[in-house]
Chain A
Amino acid sequence: MLNKFAIISSLFLFSCSSYLIQAEEIKPKNLKCGSNSGVAFFEKNGSFTIDDKDFNYKLGLIDKNLDKSDFNFIYISKPQSSGGYVLEVEKITKNKNKHRIYFKENKPPEGSASIAAITATYCFLQIDNLDKVEIFIK
């Protein structure tokens, strides 16, 4: 029994380490995170790539001077009941042609006050050689 468990664990660890060895943590070339209460901004939320027809529109709702030359990936969270939420990028990894972006959305501290408007957090990123993207939200 013990041997069997040891073998399975070894395989699992090998598998993970093999993956970790292959994944490369990268930094975005450009990053802008914040929050926005505009209905038009978050009524469609989630991930947007430069191929998305709303990509430039979303950028423009934050800053009219932004375009695809500045960022090539957008993530807009589901709307929250108030402000005070902060979205951050914990890490980005690249494995072959696949990027994994790990977001963390921090809630307002318990008992704190924040704006009573429906608000979504967002991050705009520019990542070199971006192809396939998988996102993780914490």
Chain B
Amino acid sequence: MKNISKILAILSLPLLLSACGGGGGGGGSAGGGASYTVPTCTDAGNSTIRDAEYYGMSNGGTYALARICAGAAYARGATGSGINVAVIDTGIALYGSGNNYHLDFGGNNDSLPSSKIVTPTGSDNVNSDNIPNDDNGHGTHVAGIIGADNDNQADSPIVTNGMHGVAYESKLYIFKAGDSDGAFADAAIANSLSEAITAGVDIINNSYGDSAEIGVDCNSASSCETAIGSSVYTQMEAVGAADIINVWAAGNDSKDNPSVLAGAHLYDTDFKNLSIAVVAVGTDGKIASYSNKCGVVAAYCVAAPGSAIYSAWYFANGYHIATSGTSMAAPMVSGALALVKHEFSSLTNTQVVSRLLTTALDTDEYSQSAIYGHGLINLNTATAAVGSLQTIGGSNLLDDPNTSYNDLVNNTFTSSAAFSNALNAAISGQTMEVYDSFDRANFEVGVSSFFTSGSYTSQNTVENHMARLQPKTKEKVKHKNLYGNFTMEVDGNYVQSSMFQSAGDFLALGFNQSTNSFENAVDPLSGFFNDSNFGNNYLVNPYFHTGSGQDYFMSFNGNSSFGIDTFTNGNNSDLGLAFNLNPLSSTSGDAKYAGDLQIVLGTNYEQNKFLNSSSTGAFATGDMSNTNFTGIKYKKNLGDDFTFVGSGFAGYTYIDKASNSYIDKSTPLLTSTFTLGLAKANFIKKDQRIGFFINQPQRVEDGSLNLRVPTSSDRDRTVTYSNLNVDLEPDARQINFDIIFHKAVTETSNLSANLTHVQNGDHSNSSKSQNFISLFYKKTF
């Protein structure tokens, strides 16, 4: 009865093959319910990858490589390079006295090297020699499916269209175990398996089998060993012990289960997780009429295209033909495994197998596990992240229970424009590894993908410029309290601030909202803000990051003062402290030529930041990055109308290294900033003022940090980190040129204008010059 079924199945083959070869007729596949549809994968390959050879593997308008989404793997860089695949078959086609390889494998007259093929000593186990010449054609065909060159050459004077293998840069180790009739002796199989182990291959392809059925003709390790024969079975166990992947064609007897050779791993834990049985789908995507099904081996079985697969043929050098069978499906899987293995250096061979099985297309038609096992292999999902991509938390052990991982979105670094230009240049093109949450498969990402550049340009806003233009308002509200008369000035944009000022030369106590963590140290008692020409902010460089905090100050007399400022950033997580000494005060002497000098010494502690560069996750910095700074501010009245102002700050920043952070060691970062300006009152007309300012935003003058990022991982599940030393000094110096004009229109309304020219924005010599014009009108009601 079984024979009758087999014959019927075989008889139906010509219909199927006719459809495959000529593009007509039905698919001729069996199995699968009529209600199921065949899902397709999404091939992310581009047109360059999907060239003529990509479509060359299959005839009749159905393309085997497209069916398994190989283009997506190629687009991600997987080619099989460095992966060694053994082909135990009928040998490889050799031509001429020099035993030249088929052109598809880099033979003579081909541009590619012939190092693709390796024929180890004793590799012909049929004729007991070292020259495994293919006298059947099957071995050459199978080898082509795995790894034929992708050289975009016709490869044949006979047939114009070429093809390439699934893993077209893999290396093929040829072992001849099948004779010219395609028959395999046990001794030849056993010897070939043994030699493949010795050769140290990664994957072994076995496109042969027996007619016995797993689960029927044997159902235990011992009974299967008896069925297979101890010589071959012993080598199958040895392959598992050597951590080599073994791929088996399921057989073409239209049975419900694979052959015994293809399914023996079901009962033997020694090689269960390293072996795969492969069933074939036809050109319609459904199980081919001839193919055995996955059956009891479903957990270790997968499907691949096997009908009318076009590949190299021994007939003549460069020749190709289409053949059918699970023999053709198995090398599709061997090639796919080589791609996965090439793509993910961090995976063990067991994980490579598991990944290909787990990511197989298993919906609709392929949900029938008794037929397709895990489904149709899908190289798009197999080479994409499974689960979420994560950074590793500084450990070099992927599987250590103490190793922490962090989703990519939680790893950020927003750099200060004080050094973003230098940082960007240093990390441009640099890559690092991240890992998916499924099996810690390694993915390469650009280091720069985590970084966002801060920009001073973004601070060239009207709002910022307006802050510099706002004049001091005339309104003053006087209050009285226990200590005498206090004055609170409502000072333009400074309206939220308060200033308490003592009268006369008595001790003054007070506080003030500071506006700039680097330049905030201005003691209101010094008289700096009592200028009548411009608002209090005209000394403030708007290109600094701003913070807010409290100023505590003491004034010992009318001519000098001493103040202490504290300040925080926007989220109040930083703490700063500055001492302000005001040895000169405009309140002394002739106000017409009076000058103010303020010296500032301070320190600023930033939580999880430095120089206002915030970061998270693997790029986090510690709680106590510290900037010690000093500065000087000077104002000098030059007669009745002119006022000179200047300020400069410099500081050293010490980055606090966070545990397990990729931001490793660093040298102190020296930063600087300055502002110079000249203001003139009564410009052309009374109540018109003009000012010229030159500003340099904060810039790193010296210093570096070391990025220590994971750059490779090995199959022993260890991670290697690489150091990337980044000199943070930018390649240029940003200078802003400002002209400010102010006109008092009425007693209660003012008109101001600002023109700013920015040179080398963000300290980058590649930045184009920028110009900003601002107009501002204010009326007080």
Contact = CB atoms under 8 A, between A and B. Distances in A.
B223 to A, nearest CB: 13
A113 B10 contact: no
B323 A113 contact: no
B181 A86 contact: yes
Interface stretch (B206-214, B453-461, B584-592): B206-214
B11 interface: yes
A36 B158 CA distance: 19
A40 interface: yes
B181 A85 contact: yes
Contacts of A34: 180-181
Interface stretch (A23-31, A67-75, A76-84): A76-84
B765 to A, nearest CB: 65
Nearest to A40: B21
B323 to A, nearest CB: 4
Interface string B312-340: 01011000011111111010000000000
Nearest to B248: A116
Contacts of B208: 82-83, 113-116
A137 interface: no
A78 B12 CA distance: 10
Contact of B209 (A78, A80, A116, A118): A116
Interface in A50-108: 61-64, 78-86, 108
A111 B10 contact: no
A119 interface: yes
B137 interface: yes
Contacts of A108: 183, 211
A35 B181 contact: yes
Given A82-B211, A119-B182, A37 B138 contact: yes
B741 to A, nearest CB: 86
Contacts of A44: 14
Contact of B184 (A42, A85, A112): A112
Interface string A3-40: 00000000000000000000000000000001111111
Give the contact-size bracket for chain A: 35 or more
Contacts of A79: 10, 13-14, 17
B89 interface: yes
Nearest to A34: B180
Give the contact-size bracket for chain B: 35 or more
A113 B184 contact: yes
B323 A39 contact: yes
Nearest to A109: B183
Nearest to A107: B211
Contact of B324 (A35, A84, A113, A118): A118
A45 interface: yes
Nearest to B135: A34
A83 B182 contact: yes
Contact of B178 (A39, A62, A64, A115): A115
B180 A39 contact: no
A44 B13 CA distance: 11
Nearest to B249: A116
A39 B324 contact: yes
Contacts of A43: 14, 17-18, 21
Q: For B89, B184, B290, B323, which residue has the most chain A Cβ atoms within 10 angstroms? A: B323
Contact of B210 (A40, A61, A64, A113): A113
Contact of B137 (A37, A80, A84, A111): A37
B253 interface: yes
A24 B241 CA distance: 62
Contact of B207 (A80, A112, A117): A117
Interface string B290-323: 1000000000000000001000010110000111
A64 B323 contact: no
A116 B207 contact: yes
B564 interface: no
A41 B141 CA distance: 15
A118 B325 contact: yes
A83 B252 CA distance: 10
A116 B208 CA distance: 5
Given A36-B137, A38-B323, A39-B308, A114 B178 contact: yes
Contacts of B17: 39, 42-43, 79, 118
A39 B251 contact: no
Contacts, number: 154
Give chain A's interface secondary structure class.
Answer: loop
Contacts of A61: 315, 321
Given A116-B251, A116-B252, A116-B330, A40 B183 contact: no
Contacts of A111: 210-212, 227, 229
B201 interface: no
A37 B178 contact: no
Contact of A39 (B89, B183, B227, B321): B321
Nearest to B260: A111
Nearest to A86: B181
Contacts of A84: 181-184
A116 to B, nearest CB: 4
Contacts of A64: 158, 315-316
Interface string B140-178: 010000000000000000100000000000000000001
A129 to B, nearest CB: 31
A117 B251 contact: no
A38 B10 CA distance: 15
Given A37-B325, A64-B315, A45 B14 contact: yes
A33 to B, nearest CB: 10
Interface string B10-27: 110110011011000000
Contacts of B322: 38-40
B325 A117 contact: yes
B189 interface: yes
Contacts of B20: 39
A82 B17 CA distance: 15
A114 B189 CA distance: 10
Nearest to B177: A113
Q: For B17, B210, B249, which residue has the most chain A Cβ atoms within 10 angstroms? A: B210
A34 B327 CA distance: 19
A78 B10 contact: yes
B209 A117 contact: no
Contacts of B180: 34
B415 interface: no
A61 to B, nearest CB: 8
A39 B311 CA distance: 12
B313 to A, nearest CB: 7
Given A39-B20, A40-B21, A83-B178, A115 B207 contact: yes
Nearest to B253: A81
Contact of B141 (A37, A63, A86, A110): A37
B261 interface: yes
B326 A116 contact: yes
Q: For A62, A78, A82, A111, which residue has the most chain B Cβ atoms within 10 angstroms? A: A82
B6 interface: yes
Contacts of A86: 181
Given A64-B315, A82-B211, A113 B189 contact: yes
B252 A118 contact: yes
15 contacts: A35-B181, A37-B182, A38-B137, A38-B322, A39-B323, A40-B322, A42-B14, A63-B315, A78-B10, A81-B211, A81-B254, A112-B185, A113-B210, A115-B325, A116-B325
Interface of B: 6, 9-11, 13-14, 17-18, 20-21, 59, 89-90, 136-138, 141, 158, 178, 180-186, 189, 207-212, 227, 229, 249-254, 259, 261, 290, 308, 313, 315-316, 321-328, 330
Given A35-B181, A82-B211, 11 more contacts: A34-B181, A39-B20, A43-B18, A79-B14, A79-B17, A81-B211, A85-B181, A112-B185, A114-B210, A116-B325, A117-B182
The 9 A-B residue pairs whose C-beta atoms are closest, nearest first, are A83-B182, A117-B325, A116-B249, A115-B182, A81-B252, A117-B327, A113-B184, A116-B327, A84-B183
